[in-house]
């Protein structure tokens, strides 16, 4: 009996550990300089193809770009996400981005797969081709960031499986820079320091 209870307690814990979760520990304080340095790294991540290929604007064209695609181009096969952002108006993203098995992202040039719906973010979260200052102002504006403060942004980053994919894309794709944990830490430092952006007038 004792053994059974032990097993019941340990099984969910083991599954949790395998899910590569991150720690969310905001610092007690952070200076504007530290915040700006953290922002610089956040921008390197946000502007990387593993993120910006999806974070496109109202025209709804996902991008193929980065080391594995050569020159930046629109998603092949005339794919458009439409207003639904999931391609409901034409060809749904899930037609190709749907597999749910271990190793589905190993082969090059396969449609990336995650165990949640593959779709574009809202058009207000447009990052593709935008400058550091533009994305910085967007990401601190609750009207354009899904109403999130830095803690909510950090926990969103952890809970979103697309992000776990962006750091372990497989198939020869270059992962987003730093690590998910380092990115979350930077978001926390940036938030605690007061969300500074380059060019702010103090």
In the complex, which residues of this chain contact ligand HEC (CB under 6 A)? Answer: 45-46, 49-51, 53-55, 62, 64, 68, 75, 77, 79, 81, 87, 91, 93, 95-97, 109, 111-112, 118-121, 125, 139, 145-146, 153, 156, 162-163, 166, 173, 176
Bridge partner list, 70: 66
Q: Closest CB to ligand HEC among 104 and 120?
A: 120
State the alpha helices, DSSP H only, in the chain.
2-18, 32-46, 49-52, 132-139, 150-159, 161-167, 180-192
Q: Closest CB to ligand HEC among 139 and 188?
A: 139
Q: Closest CB to ligand HEC among 36 and 152?
A: 152
Give the residue among 97, 92, 93, 95 at the shortest CA–CA distance from 110: 97
Tokens at 183, concatenated: 């990115």
Nearest distance in Å: CB 176, ligand HEC: 4
Signed CA dihedral, 66, 71, 74, 76: sign only: negative
Nearest distance in Å: CB 96, ligand HEC: 3
Alpha carbons within 13 angstroms on the beta-carbon side of residue 199 total: 7
Nearest distance in Å: CB 35, ligand HEC: 16
């Amino acid at each position: 009996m004792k053994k059974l209870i032990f097993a019941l307690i340990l099984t969910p814990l083991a599954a949790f550990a395998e899910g590569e979760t991150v720690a969310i520990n905001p610092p007690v304080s952070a200076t504007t300089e530290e915040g700006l340095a953290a922002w610089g790294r956040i921008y390197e991540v946000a502007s990387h193809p593993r993120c910006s290929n999806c974070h496109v604007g109202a025209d709804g064209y996902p991008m193929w770009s980065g080391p594995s695609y050569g020159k930046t181009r629109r998603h092949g096969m005339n794919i458009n996400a439409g207003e639904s952002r999931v391609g409901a108006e034409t060809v749904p993203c899930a037609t190709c981005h749907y597999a749910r098995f271990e190793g589905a992202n190993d082969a090059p040039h396969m449609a990336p797969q995650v165990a949640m719906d593959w779709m574009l973010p809202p058009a207000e979260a447009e990052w593709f081709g935008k400058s550091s200052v533009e994305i910085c102002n967007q990401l601190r504006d609750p009207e354009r960031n899904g109403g999130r403060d830095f803690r909510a942004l950090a926990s969103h980053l952890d809970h979103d499986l697309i992000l776990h994919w962006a750091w372990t894309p497989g198939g020869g794709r270059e992962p987003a820079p730093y690590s998910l944990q380092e990115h979350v830490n930077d978001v926390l430092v940036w938030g605690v320091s007061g969300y500074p952006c380059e060019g702010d007038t103090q």
